[in-house]
Structure 1
Amino acid sequence: MEEQITEWRGGRAANPRGTNQSGLRAYNERLVLSMLHRQGAMAGSDVARLAGLSAQTVSVIMRRLEQDGLLLRGDPVRGKVGKPSVPMSVNPDGAFAIGLKIGRRTADLVLADLMGQPRIQLHAAYRYPMPEAIVDFLKDGIATIKRELTKEEFGRIAGIGIAKPYEIWSWHESIGAPEGEIARWKLLNFEDEIAQFTHLPVYVDNDATAACRAEHIYGRGRELGSFGYFYIGSFVGGGIVLNDTVFDGALGNAGSFGSLPARRADGTACQLVDAASLYLLEADLARAGVDPSRLWVQPQEWSDFSDVLDDWIERTSAQLAQACLTVCAVVDFDTILLDGAFPEAVRKRMVERTRSIMSSLDHRGLIIPKLEGGTIGRNARALGAASAPMFSQFLLNTHAGFAQG
């Protein structure tokens, strides 16, 4: 397989329909597989009706996908008349993908199956990310995955998705990284480095956009056609879903909500990233004499610094409330989802407080959106990264295409 780096880009299209022309068989296979992936098990007759394909075409496609190990045959369902229908569903073991999340404090590597369930997970924590260490982490992780899988299973890995912050070398002062060292990211060529130890294709995505994609595919996005999305990691970011597809924008940076204008408590102007991010909680904990690395080393144990946490949630919720209204002034979102690299209890509190503050703000000319919590949490960025190889080879993203990097 030829090595490739692909940037995940977004475009626009509407209501995909099938075609019975034999020359577009690959498209039809992706369409059928994508419908079953998103909507669950269905009989061929239902797929044909929804896809606008002939029953014969769908039957041939389903047999081929089943032979390739991508679909599973369910038990026949007998009706009152006619032959029993046989529901078909996606085989989670039909394909796998590796997702790597590069964060400013941690890196996560996940092997996900075709339905987005993590099969193997690896984690690394550090003061700040360095290219050499991240590449070594990926190399060692692939070796671990290879040991855990059979040769046949390893051969079903579709590729490697990488979710990383946009301009990871920016805001180096906020995380205490030496500018000269962190700037080495500018010189990193993923293609050259990764090609030294694997021939798997590689896809690079913005980390917050990847998190949004995971929520869209595996979480609340299954029931929401369009929504705004905020994800709070070391730095806050976001994403946009329009017409059932993550919208990346012409340059792949749509939903860059961390760059929204904001104001600190003292009234000075800043960006949202400077007022609603986890690195601010780190600083608060350090001032209170609590080791801030516990946020990443013990991610589920946040209960014993409640005073500091309470204050951070209050400040962050106020910032997010204003940001939610701001994005709704541009895109008329019905729903905004909020998630982050924190325990579920923290997410629940932040959603409730942000919702309350937002209702008290001046919202003339706007319809206040429903604010709800995401469902993926810490794994969102890694799982979103792993979804890129799946879409590239098996699924149909109705509005998105790939641009060669």
Structure 2
Amino acid sequence: MTGTSFFSVEKISDGRSGGTTQAESRVYNERLIVTLVRRHGQLAKADLTRLTGLAAQTITTLVNRAAESGLLLRREPLRGRLGQPSVPYSLNPEAAYSFGLKVDHRSADVALVNFVGDLVAFERIEFDYPTPGEVMGFAKGAVAKMCRKHKAISTERIAGLGIASPFHRGSLGEESGLTAGRLDAWKEIDIRAELDRAFDWPVFLHNDATVSAAAELMFGAGAACADFLYAYIGYFVGGGLVLDHHLFPGRNKLAGALGDVPVPAYGPENDRTQPLLRTASLRALAGKLNGHDDGRIWSSPDDWGDLGAPLAEWIDEVSDGLAYAARGAVALLDIDNVVIDGAIPAAVRKEIAKATRRKLARALVDRPEPFSVLEGSFGHLGPAIGGASIPLLVKYSNDKDLLFKE
């Protein structure tokens, strides 16, 4: 059944512990250095000594080793200060690469990104509704094409393939948007395991919104935030949760599942509440447009043109629902940020963020730290780039197995 296997243990190297032996401590500290440099952009050895509490000699050894292996780049010394010039280090964009495969109800994307999240190559295919066979055929062909085009990238520098998919575990229900026959096809196949057999590198599978949050954590607006709730507006609305600079997927890999959050219902329904996915989704917008958009909301995620009053009404309902869900998350988790993104034009995303910010301003005005509603960085590319971020998280981050513990 799809989604029952999240990664291949055999293809993941040793050294993923939080540091219980000397060798594991060394690996953990090396990843800690890389993670801190990623978070801050560039850091000198003195900065790393201060941030980690490790001995200066240890930091020197770790940084030199990372630079020699090509993970870090030595930058020009910073002059004009007291004492010796400070030499900062940054990530080497060419240190590693990763593939991401996004699957949704209407399309599939394959992205190739480098170590800092730059998009190196991208392929897309659209469906009426995807089948596992169509998605796997597209993924294999797109990866092969990208490898041929970028022959300078050696196999050793490819960290893996991450699949961002809504078709697994808890999302294979009545609200999946698939007919019974197509739903059965996704239930009967483990697409991760099938693709894992096709490639030499490890293949991972996670919820599409969860990995989109990972993209923001590693490469986007969330990089500077210790904690944030992430919302991705696509065919449905999904979410992810970051706590203390780490992606927190939850025991069932469904933490931050915003689509299931009950919010006040609109209209004359008997129910006083309804799941957020009923309003904050492209499916809900399509219902309001009743076909008058000519399919633009599915085929043109960067530009919808003028959709008039139905779009304005939808933005108001989306922001209402997100503000309601955010207030609950703030009360429960004490977070200070919400990041909003989706397969929507930048102008629409801006309006949703602005309306959500306005609706939260009075309710959260007394918090000790200012509350922020941020726009995401990747739009419709978020799940594919997020999928690509997962192998990089596994191989190079200091996350203590939170994301990948079975």
TM-score range, shorter chain: 0.7 to 0.9
Among candidates 306, 322, 325, match of residue 324 of structure 2: 322
Cα pair 1:248 1:254 within 8 Å, conserved: yes
Q: 1:159 to 1:152 in 2, by over 3 A?
A: same
1:143-222 mapped onto 2 (5 Å cutoff)? 143-165=144-166, 166-167=168-169, 168-171=171-174, 175=177, 177-222=178-223
SS of the aligned residue for 2:120 comes to strand
Q: 1:129 to 1:365 in 2, by over 3 A?
A: farther
Distance across 2 between alignment mates of 1:192 and 1:340: 28
Q: Which residue of structure 2 lines up, in the alignment, with residue 281 of structure 1?
A: 285
Q: CA deviation at 1:326?
A: 2.9
Cα pair 1:120 1:145 within 8 Å, conserved: yes
Q: CA deviation at 1:108?
A: 1.5
Q: CA deviation at 1:217?
A: 2.0
Distance across 2 between alignment mates of 1:251 and 1:7: 18
Q: Which stretches in structure 1 are left out of the alignment for 5+ residues? A: 9-15
Cα pair 1:162 1:202 within 8 Å, conserved: yes
1:29-68 mapped onto 2 (5 Å cutoff)? 29-68=30-69
Greater mean alpha carbon deviation, residues 248-257 or residues 20-29: 20-29
Q: CA deviation at 1:19?
A: 10
Q: 1:267 to 1:220 in 2, by over 3 A?
A: same
Distance across 2 between alignment mates of 1:253 and 1:335: 19
SS of the aligned residue for 1:122 comes to strand
User: C-alpha offsets along residues 240-298 of structure 1, whole Å, 9 cap, x if unaligned?
Assistant: 2222222111111111111012324223433111122111112233x253322x22322
Q: CA deviation at 1:92?
A: 0.6
SS of the aligned residue for 2:7 comes to strand
Among candidates 304, 307, 310, match of residue 305 of structure 1: 307
Distance across 2 between alignment mates of 1:390 and 1:283: 38
Q: CA deviation at 1:370?
A: 3.7
Greater mean alpha carbon deviation, residues 268-277 or residues 90-99: 268-277
Q: Which residue of structure 2 lines up, in the alignment, with residue 371 of structure 1?
A: 373
Q: Which stretches in structure 2 are left out of the alignment for 5+ residues? A: 10-16
Q: Which residue of structure 2 lines up, in the alignment, with residue 382 of structure 1?
A: 384
Q: TM-score, normalised by structure 1?
A: 0.87
Greater mean alpha carbon deviation, residues 30-39 or residues 213-222: 213-222
Q: Residue type matched to 2:223 in 1?
A: R
Cα pair 1:77 1:84 within 8 Å, conserved: yes
Aligned length: 389
Identity among equivalent positions (%) equals 34
Cα pair 1:129 1:182 within 8 Å, conserved: no
Q: Residue type matched to 2:277 in 1?
A: V
Q: CA deviation at 1:100?
A: 1.0
Q: CA deviation at 1:34?
A: 1.2
Distance across 1 between alignment mates of 2:233 and 2:385: 16
Q: Which residue of structure 1 lines up, in the alignment, with residue 293 of structure 2?
A: 290
Q: Which residue of structure 2 lines up, in the alignment, with residue 11 of structure 1?
A: none
SS of the aligned residue for 2:94 comes to helix
Q: Which residue of structure 1 lines up, in the alignment, with residue 352 of structure 2?
A: 350
User: C-alpha offsets along residues 329-374 of structure 1, whole Å, 9 cap, x if unaligned?
Assistant: 322332222221101100111122233344588x999999543322
Q: 1:140 to 1:214 in 2, by over 3 A?
A: same
Q: 1:79 to 1:331 in 2, by over 3 A?
A: same
Q: Which residue of structure 1 lines up, in the alignment, with residue 276 of structure 2?
A: 272
1:131-142 mapped onto 2 (5 Å cutoff)? 131-142=132-143
Pairwise CA RMSD = 2.9
Distance across 1 between alignment mates of 2:52 and 2:19: 6
